[in-house]
């Protein structure tokens, strides 16, 4: 399993267990985001995201050590450790924070819908994003995922994605990865025309 490291970009994703859905009603989406902000905002910046009825995709950047120690008290316990021990401790704490988030949402969901058992597939998936080309492709992949899976036919019609706010929240990334805002929108639209190419992107992202 990919270890989470400070200061790195990661693709985080997971699917509902079996044939269940993570989101049965519209109110589930904002509740998920509320829990997410509570547990994940202290440890990572969320660059791009998309929630769909039975699965989700996130692009996050884990905060660096200085920010983690400042924003999350548990990370202050590494002062007397070696570099190797410190990295292992950070990785375990980061993974635990994601696990706590999934557990918190699952417990609330199960209580409301009177269900038992795991809501998510065991062990959430995480992949290190180690170059700009991968980062560029992943942002497009996440934003166009609802269309790929048939949940909507237009990018702006799916509410639970960062597509329409990404340019406001990360203008520097728009410039670095897409050149300008118009290119950002145009490239997304062009990708939707070529699902064979899209399938290749998906295979690369999920099997890298």
Identify each DSSP E strand in the chain by its residue range. 9-15, 44-52, 55-62, 125-129
Domain range summary for the chain, segments of one domain joined by +: 1-130, 131-208
Crossing angle (nearest 10°) for helices 195-207 and 132-148? 120
CATH architecture for the domain at 1-130: 2-Layer Sandwich (3.30)
Q: What is the pLDDT of residues 122-148, one digit of tens each?
A: 888 999 999 999 999 999 999 999 988
Distance CA 78, CA 75 (A): 6
Note the pTM of the prediction, 2 decimals. Answer: 0.88
Taking residues 153-167, report their average pLDDT.
Answer: 92
- Residue 195, pLDDT > 60, answer no
């Amino acid at each position: 399993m990919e270890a989470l490291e400070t200061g790195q970009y990661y693709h985080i994703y997971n699917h509902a267990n079996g044939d269940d859905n993570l989101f049965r009603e519209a109110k589930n989406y904002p509740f998920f985001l509320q829990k997410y902000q509570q547990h994940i905002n202290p440890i990572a910046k969320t660059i791009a995201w998309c929630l769909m009825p039975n699965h989700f995709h996130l692009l996050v950047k884990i905060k660096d050590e200085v920010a983690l120690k400042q924003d999350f008290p548990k990370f202050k316990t590494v002062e007397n450790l070696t570099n190797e021990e410190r990295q292992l401790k950070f990785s375990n704490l980061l993974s635990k924070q994601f696990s706590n988030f999934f557990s918190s949402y699952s417990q609330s969901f199960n209580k409301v819908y009177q269900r038992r058992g795991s809501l998510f597939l065991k062990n959430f998936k995480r992949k290190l994003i180690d170059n700009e080309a991968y980062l560029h492709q992943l942002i497009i992949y996440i934003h166009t995922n609802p269309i790929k899976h048939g949940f909507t036919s237009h990018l702006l019609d799916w509410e639970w994605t960062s597509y329409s706010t990404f340019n406001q929240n990360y203008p520097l990334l728009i410039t670095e990865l897409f050149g300008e805002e118009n290119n950002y929108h145009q490239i997304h639209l062009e990708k939707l025309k070529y699902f064979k190419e899209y399938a290749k992107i998906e295979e690369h992202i999920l099997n890298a």
